[in-house]
Amino acid sequence: MAETTTTTEVRGGQPAVPETEPEHKRERLPLGPLKTVHVFWLAGMSCDGCSIAVTGATNPGIEGLLLGIVPAMPKVLLHHPVLAVESGDHFVESFKKAADGTLGDPYVLVFEGSVADERIAQRTGGYFSAMGVEAISGEADYGAVKHPVPTATWLHRLAPGAAATIAIGTCATWGGVPSAAGNPTGSMSVMDALGKDYRSAFGLPVINIPGCAPVGDNFTETVFAVLLFLQGLGPLPAFDALGRPAWMFGQTVHQGCTRAGYYEEGSFAHEYGDPECLVEIGCWGPVVNCNIVQRGAINHMGSCMKAGGVCIGCTMPGFPDKFSPFYKTPPGAIVSTGLSRGVGAVVRRLRRMSNKEGNREHRWDVFNEVPSGWGHVPDRTIMDRTIHFFYERWQQMGSRRPGRRPGEADRFWGVDRPGVKGDYLDDSMTREDRDDRH
């Protein structure tokens, strides 16, 4: 019996050419409604942190999409190298069908990790990241020897026919850590790999959801929004000039930070664990676009600053080089914290006085006593009373002060008060009188 060697030998990665260049985009597909959408997930130079982040998304959760129970959403079939039940050739089969146009349903392509320059690996007969093996047509031993297919190659095969291509995580969106200065892999982002002219089959450039790891909900919400658009049920969500969801990345970390009030008052942490603003121990939040503090890392809980960590700019295209060394005061912060310290020292003291006054009931002021068994609350000093007197006048200028004016008490006692005309159904009261009461 003849010996078969077709699947026994696997050598280095496939040549990166000619598939390093994206194909011309295929015919633009009409918009929905769609019954089923496949999601093909590729991992390049990645740590799988993005996959973990997405499986932890809760609002919306990925389960609803996969089970097809979200109203107006098509059923989503996920082909993920880690989460799939199939393995080997069975798993790769659907990717091949999508690449050669025989899948029968539209698909979305998701890329996690950066795209390595496989030509570099090929010089030594290796590869950086790959999925599946294939024989290379034209080779003398065609069929006998198979080569790993780089995920960069899959990207170039699948991106032109995808309804949308989504780069998830900072490695895929901007190159991230694998593309840091001095890296030996030539790694780059999906946008860099596909080029400026890339458009999906629905006419979309690459959609970028950055973060290292990204907020899982940022990804699932964007997928929902894009699927609604593909269904023809919603407008194309707003993306900024770098393809980020504009409603998520339009603000800086600082603008939503729970510690921003400390910054404003010129109070800064000296070491980790302090509750104040972390800028002097290395926080880049004032110049970084990220929504993690408002959204929470997972299930609306946690985030870098809430957990006591500084922002190192992980969502930014300049990360990591433009934000290193980490944990050192950013030079720009020296100017702004100096100004904030000067203004904050005054503002802080004034606010403490108002805060002290707001922590007293009106009744406690009248009787000059705070009946608390928890501790001694100091009485108001003459200075407190004087300042508050003028502050209150200023506060209520042009408005009616709380309480009743002389003579009003009689009216408000109502019909039961002997000898006094009640205000209920009191025809003698003018409309102005009644309005004035409110």
Q: Contact residues for ligand SF4 (CB under 6 A)? A: 211, 253-254, 257, 259-260, 263, 277-279, 283, 285-286, 288, 290, 292, 304-305, 311-315
Comparison of 13 and 266: residue with beta carbon closer to ligand SF4: 266
3-class secondary structure, 66: helix
Nearer to ligand SF4, 28 or 300 (CB): 300
Please state the closest distance from residue 256 (CB atom) to ligand SF4, in A. 8
Q: Measured from the CB of residue 235, what is the shortest distance to ligand SF4 in angstroms?
A: 27
Residue closer to ligand SF4 (CB basis): 225 or 305: 305
Q: Which is nearer to ligand SF4, 52 or 236 (CB)?
A: 52
Q: Which is nearer to ligand SF4, 175 or 313 (CB)?
A: 313
Task: Between 133 and 304, name the residue whose CB sits nearer to ligand SF4.
Answer: 304
Please name every residue paired with 10 in a beta bridge, in sequence order, or none if there are none.
Answer: 146
Nearer to ligand SF4, 143 or 318 (CB): 318
User: Which whole-number Å values give the CA distances from 315 to 52, 215, 292, 308, 338, in the listed order?
Assistant: 17, 10, 10, 18, 27
Report the SS3 class of residue 120. Answer: helix
Q: What are the tokens at 277?
A: 């603003």
Closest residue to ligand SF4 using C-beta atoms: 285
- What minimum distance in Å lies between the beta carbon of 349 and ligand SF4? 20
Return the half-sphere exposure (C-beta side, CA atoms, 13 A cut-off) of residue 288: 30
User: For the sheet containing 207-209, what is the strand order?
Assistant: 75-79, 36-43, 107-112, 164-168, 207-209
State how far the Cα of 183 lies from the Cα of 2, in Å rounded to an integer. 47
Q: How far is the CB of 354 from ligand SF4 (least distance, A)?
A: 22
Nearest approach in angstroms of CB 305 to ligand SF4 is: 5
Q: What is the distance between the alpha carbons of residues 187 and 150, in angstroms, rounded to a whole number?
A: 13
Which residue, 239 or 263, has its beta carbon nearer to ligand SF4? 263
Pick the closest to residue 165 from 210, 114, 201 (CA basis). Answer: 201
Least spacing, CB of residue 279 vs ligand SF4, in Å: 4
Query: Is 401 exposed, middle or buried (CB count within 10 Å of its CB: 0-12, 13-18, 19+)?
Result: exposed
Q: Residues near 217 by Cβ (< 8 Å), separated by ≥ 6? A: 57, 58, 59, 60, 295
Shortest Å distance, C-beta 62 to ligand SF4: 20
Query: Do 344 and 268 meet the contact criterion of CB atoms below 8 Å apart?
Result: no
In the complex, the smallest distance separating the C-beta of residue 208 from ligand SF4, rounded to whole angstroms, is 14
What CA–CA distances, in Å, run from 256 to 246, 274, 277, 336? Answer: 15, 19, 13, 18
